[in-house]
Chain A
Amino acid sequence: MLPIFLASILLFKDQDITGAVKLAVPSVQYRMNVASATSAPWVNANGWLIQRSPGKKVFYDLPKGGAELALAEAHAYNADAIVKIAPEDADAFAKMNAFLQQLGSAGPQVGNIAVTDDGSTQAGEGLNLLHRKNLIYRMVNGPDPKADLNIKVDKSINNPLDFAADVREKLTDDKRLIRVYGSAVVLANLTSDGGGRMRLHLINYGKRPVDGLRIRLRGSYVVKGVSIYESAESKVADFTNRDGGTEFSLPRAGLYSVIDLETK
């Protein structure tokens, strides 16, 4: 067994994966044959399942070309992951792993929606949609009075899309921790060092970089660092603090972008 990064992401070497939660291959399905403004691409992402599985190992069985995205996802959600890659992806794995080592630990999950989960399949689909809609939540065992919204996910969820829309409406867009403009395939996560520093993770599930991503964060921050995989870019553009929020652009968002922020 080869320790790769802070012992949380391990390259699969025939070790026992019994009990590990098997994850989907991170990817995006473009629905090119559906010509309408609502035909948003479908993102296969696992952040919700990683969050739902604290203390459990997760397992990625990846096809060729899948290593970098999976590693980014595992890192952004603090996964205890075992990653099986195609042999051709060894270099890509090493490259992303080096990038993650530079970043250091993601830190504890942040979220202003407190979620209790009955563990059902339907609840899982609800979590998946919250995740896909960049509604940033954290799992709790019971109601949290400090959260902006407390919700239960359970088997009563018939339509996950409607469920996520309902959560969004109840929270209101003004209270959302993160808004992503300019892409339907970039999912965001927010972690913290427990003090005044926050870390924004932007994972681009699409096959191409996104030119001109705009981010809005609730709260006033200053940017302390920018790290973009396979990019020397170290600054954000068009930064502004206004109306209780922080906004900036990334001229080009690659596969994984990490923005370190400090409370203003």
Chain B
Amino acid sequence: MQRRAFLQWSAVAPAAFATVTTDIPKYRTVSKYQPHPYKGFPASVVSVHSAKSIDEATEKVDPQTVRQMIERGMTALTGESTPAAAWKRFFAPSDVVGIKVNCSGAPRIMSHPVVVADIVRNLLAVGVKPEQIYIYERFPDQLESVKYGKYIDQKVNIHAVEMSRGSILNYDPETFVEVNFFGEEDTRSNLVRLVSEKFTKIINVPNMKDHGAAGVTGCLKNIAYGNFSNVARSHAHEKTNTKTFIGTLASMEPLKSKTVLNIMDGLKGIWHGGPFQLKNEFGFFPKKMMFGTDMVAMDRLLIDVIENKRKAEHARSVWDRSRDQLITSRSSDPNKNQFIREPGHIEYAAGLGLGEYDINKIRLQEFEI
């Protein structure tokens, strides 16, 4: 990563949305980092399904099946003949790797520790030392509830960013997005300091979830809201700013360039009430994992996963913007919501150069284990 000092002071607005300026808050992005030329595998997504990956009754995950799913996903994504060769396409022994897990709904829904453990195993096989691997999340209570330490080498770092909720101590004071959504006093969202100063690569490990504000939460939201401070302000009101804020954050350097791989853990998902699991029946079991470097393409496919499940459950579409669904607090009624959902954040992110949104241009490879 080159670190030639430069600043991005521009308001971020992709050309495709340039005429809809009234909907786009004035974002000021400040970063001294430049993009890395790595392109990955644009518009390519590998989906691996296995009926035996998780037991629906006990929610016990089968490590051997997960291992096979990850092997298949990684070799298919890269075109390499062995898992080792596939992982070497992304990582070298000198890398310091952050694994961005999602624990916002833990301990009921999270990047499963069996999945994360197999990712760690593959990094170790490449030669990355355990001390150079960081499993990280913003909030310690959520992270600790998963107990990743039971599944991995004890030398692997497990790191929570905000040791006291709201503290910006572990965020980079010189890499941030500044925006005033509704007159809030603290208008900055700063990048996790480990991301800018320590990690050389990031693996993004989201789940497949509905999200009350963003519509769905997958790659983009996990990497965006999981790496910046002071983001909940974007959904302080029923009409949220998630549509533009998620992509704006995800496109910030060096986060964008360092996020080289996305492994979406869809063994279990949430079809309503996300990011949490408010009721047992809102959990479901896609029993699949998706692999890719294109966050937009993966999230575009995620919309269909969540939307189809909601349709099967006779719940409102994530695209429904009618006001009669609005209520003032979280609800276990799948046809009520606190916010107008913004699944359009994925197409918006495509406009920022984060990936391919057109379903007809996404090359999906599907496998069954």
Contacts and interface: CB of A to CB of B under 8 A. Distances in A.
A240 interface: yes
A208 B167 contact: no
Interface string B148-187: 0000000000000001101111110110000010111111
Nearest to B338: A36
A182 interface: yes
Contacts of A249: 173
A208 B167 CA distance: 12
Contacts of A210: 167
A62 interface: no
B188 to A, nearest CB: 5
B173 A247 contact: yes
Contact of B173 (A37, A134, A208, A214): A214
B183 A165 contact: yes
Contacts of B57: none
Contacts of A108: none
B180 A173 contact: yes
A207 to B, nearest CB: 12
A211 B167 contact: yes
B236 interface: yes
Contacts of A247: 173
A42 interface: no
A141 interface: no
Contact of B174 (A180, A183, A238): A238
A38 B168 contact: no
A211 B169 contact: yes
A215 B166 CA distance: 16
Interface string A82-123: 000000000000000000000000000000000000000000
A180 B184 CA distance: 12
A258 to B, nearest CB: 20
Interface in B58-117: none
Interface bin, chain B: 20 to 34
B232 interface: yes
Interface residues of A, number: 26
Interface in A114-156: 133-134
Contacts of A211: 163-164, 167, 169
Nearest to B233: A37
A179 to B, nearest CB: 8
B164 A208 contact: yes
A184 B235 CA distance: 18
A238 to B, nearest CB: 5
B169 A40 contact: no
A246 to B, nearest CB: 13
Contact of A38 (B166, B170, B236, B329): B236
Contacts of B164: 208, 211
B183 A168 contact: yes
Contact of A181 (B174, B182, B183, B188): B188
Contact of A212 (B169, B185, B187, B233): B169
Contacts of A160: none
B186 A184 contact: yes
A37 B183 contact: no
Contacts of B187: 173
Interface in B110-130: none
B167 A133 contact: no
Nearest to A239: B173
B169 A134 contact: no
Contacts of A168: 183
A134 B185 contact: yes
Interface string A27-52: 00000000111101000000000000
A212 B235 contact: no
Nearest to A250: B169
Given A37-B236, A184-B186, A211-B163, A240 B168 contact: no
A238 B174 CA distance: 8
Nearest to A40: B185
Of B186, B188, B234, B237, the most chain A CB neighbours within 10 A belong to: B186
B162 to A, nearest CB: 9
Nearest to A133: B185
A40 B10 CA distance: 29
Contacts of B173: 214, 238, 247, 249
A170 to B, nearest CB: 13
22 contacts: A36-B236, A37-B232, A37-B234, A37-B235, A38-B182, A38-B184, A38-B236, A38-B237, A165-B183, A173-B187, A180-B185, A181-B186, A182-B166, A182-B167, A182-B168, A182-B186, A184-B185, A184-B186, A211-B167, A212-B170, A213-B168, A240-B174
Interface of B: 163-164, 166-171, 173-174, 180, 182-188, 190, 232-237, 329
Given A208-B164, A212-B168, A214-B168, 18 more contacts: A36-B236, A37-B236, A38-B233, A38-B237, A133-B185, A180-B186, A181-B168, A181-B188, A182-B167, A184-B186, A210-B167, A211-B167, A212-B170, A214-B173, A238-B174, A240-B174, A247-B173, A249-B173
Task: Give the top 5 A-B pairs by smallest Cβ distance, nearest first.
Answer: A212-B169, A37-B236, A182-B168, A211-B167, A211-B169
Interface of A: 35-38, 40, 133-134, 165, 168, 173, 180-184, 208, 210-214, 238, 240, 247, 249, 251
